[in-house]
Each structure stands twice: as structure tokens, then as C-alpha cells.
A = this chain, B = another copy of it.
Amino acid sequence: MAAATPLLKDELDIVIPTIRNLDFLEMWRPFFQPYHLIIVQDGDPSKIIKVPEGFDYELYNRNDINRILGPKASCISFKDSACRCFGYMVSKKKYIYTIDDDCFVAKDPSGKDINALEQHIKNLLCPSTPHFFNTLYDPYRDGADFVRGYPFSMREGAPTAVSHGLWLNIPDYDAPTQLVKPHERNTRYVDAVMTIPKGTLFPMCGMNLAFDRDLIGPAMYFGLMGDGQPIGRYDDMWAGWCTKVICDHLGLGIKTGLPYIWHSKASNPFVNLKKEYNGIFWQEEIIPFFQAATLPKECTTVQQCYLELSKQVKKKLSSIDPYFTKLGEAMVTWIEAWDELNPTGDNLAKLSIADGPAKTKK
């Protein structure tokens, strides 16, 4: 059979944060080549990142970020993969898929290569079920449905804003678990997609993640991490907590489960522990904060929700550490920068920047 037009070819960008040559794309070529890539180069901007031939991409390094955002560039992390969220901001597409450069194509139990992107798109294009649990998992999948006792009024579901994919081989463990179980590998292929219920938080991993920019983009801020910050490896967690609270408020769904990617290499647990230790303490207070957070009904856009959350963060988390005051302010800067780069009817007049990306290759 001839290959059909790839799904959402002109409506999805693939965002990749990296500090090295992107040889990993070779393995993804059959699946990614039709799509546009946004590469966010972390670290030394003078370093040349090689991208395999034939990919359509734009690449931004720190100099580009500083030039495009000016003083607002302060909200984009440096020396941390949190910088990837700059790619979400400069994209002009409706959908984003983001993947780490140490993730490869996994195989399903039949030995077939998994087209992770295709599964994410399926997840995003069909509804979620955040208001009631379906025991046979995603009721919209082929061969499944809503089970007896599922209220008919809820069977339309909610729009899906986020698709959270999983990882075979190296699981996404924190440093203490890595240290305790250095040899544990995830070999269990769970053939399910499910909705995370309303009111329930989850640890969102940015390694293999897709979302609908129009529905939730401005909440996908990966925070202040890495260089000059007292914390790392909590960028995606931060985005996940904020995103979940806002999705719950706005009636949007988040799915998790398929697709799997092959996570090739565990990062250094000692380095990770140094990055994580504040987060490990702090999350014991941050998570109850987000579990209890409510947004006023006047907040009807993601931006409004996010700005309201930023106020609550400053007010309620700053007692943990002054870092949260800075983070709360960066959340505001992020939204200002987002709105500048993504003018709508409302804020088109405010648009002032004219610069494009540094290097675009077709």
C-alpha cells in the first residue's frame, strides 16, 4: 500500500531540545521526515548541531532566544531541557510533539516499529473521559466502548488537550529510585490509553509528549530550571501540575499510556540527585498546593488561568523558598512573551517583534 499523507502534516511541529548532533533522527526518519522540526539548542550557542539531511527544521540557540524575546528571555531556562518550551512558543502550528534526543523507536509485542507520533495524534483527535472512569480504558478505541453503568450524558467526552506517552527500557525514575534499582528496565507493554480523571494530578514527563497548542499551549511552561536555579528535572512536572489544574478547570482531558518510545540511556543518578533534591523536598508541599488549587470561573482562557495560578504560586509557595516568587514572576513573563509571539485579535496591536528564527532549512 502506498503511504497515505501523514496525519496533520501541516498542523504539527516536533520540538526537540538538544545539546548534541541529532543522529537519533535517523531512526525516526520514516515517521518524522514529513513534519517540521523546531530544534532548541541548549548550552553553548557557538556549537554547531548537525541535523541529518532531508529534515525540514528551524533551529534556535540561546542567542536567537535572547534576540527574539529580549528581556523576556529570562523566563526561558538555560542549560536544562526546560528550554524546549521556547519551541512551543514560536511554533505556529496547532499541535506539538516533543521528544528527547535519547529516545528511539520502540517495538510493539508483535515486533513492529511503533509510530509514536501517529498514536499521539490519534489520542489528541479523539475525546477524553475525565469525569467518570471507564474500566475498559479508552472507550473510543477500536474494539472498546463505554461499559455498563457509564452515564450516557458523559459519553461525548471532553476535548483532549494532552497525550502523555510512556517509555520502554529505561523508566522515568527519580535519582533515589535510579540509585536503588540501577538495573530495572521497563519491559511491560501495556496496551492501553486512558484519561487521567478530573481532580487527579499526575507526574507529566516531557520525554514523549504531545499537546494541542490552541487548547493548552500557554500552560506548557517548563519553568525556571538549570543554570542559576536551585532545581532541575522538575520542568515537565511543573508544566504537568499547572496543565492538569487548568485542564480540569476548563473541562479538557489528558490522556496517558500508548505510545511507547525506547528510552535508551539512564541519565547519571548522582547528577540527577543534585538537580532534584530540592524538588524532592518541595514537591511535598507543591503537590498539596496544586491538589487544592481552584480557579475562579471568570478565568475562561488558558492565559487567564495561568496568570491566576502565578498569583497563587507567589502567595502560597514563596514561604517554601524565594525561588517561587521568581518563578511566579517568570510565569507572567512567559504569558507576555507567548502573547507577543502568538498575537490574536485581542493582542495583535501589541505585536512589536519582527525577527524570525536564526537558521531555517527546507
Residue of B nearest to A189 (CB): B191
- Tell me how many chains of this kind the complex includes: 2
**Please, which residues of chain B bring their CB within 8 A of the CB of A153?**
284
Q: Among the listed B134, B149, B151, B237, which residue makes an inter-chain contact with A149, where contact means beta carbons less than 8 Å apart? A: B237
Task: Decide: A188 and B190 in contact? CB cutoff 8 A.
Answer: no
In the assembled complex, the Cα of A118 lies from the Cα of B153 at a distance in Å of 37
Is the C-beta of A56 less than 8 angstroms from some C-beta in chain B?
no
Residues of B within 8 A of A199 (CB): 197-200
Flag if A166 contacts B136 (CB, 8 Å): yes
Which residues of the other chain, B, contact A26 by a CB distance below 8 angstroms?
A: none
Min CB–CB distance A77 → chain B (angstroms): 17
Quote the shortest CB–CB distance from A70 to chain B (angstroms). 32
Give the nearest-CB partner of A276 in chain B: B148
Q: Is there contact, CB below 8 Å, between B190 and A151?
A: no
Does the CB pair A132–B184 fall under 8 Å?
A: no
- A147 cross-chain contacts in B, Cβ below 8 A: 171-174, 203, 205
Q: Which chain B residues border A204 with CB–CB below 8 Å?
A: 149
A48 to chain B, nearest CB (A): 32
Is A148 within 8 A of B132, CB to CB? no
Are A143 and B205 in contact, with the CB atoms below 8 A? no
Bound CA–CA A166/B185 (angstroms): 27
Contacts of A174 in B (CB 8 A): 147-150
Q: Is A190 touching B187 in the complex (CB atoms < 8 A)? A: no
The yes or no answer to A144 lying at the interface (CB within 8 A) is yes
7 A/B residue pairs, CB under 8 Å, sorted by A: A135-B172, A143-B184, A145-B177, A147-B203, A148-B203, A191-B191, A197-B197
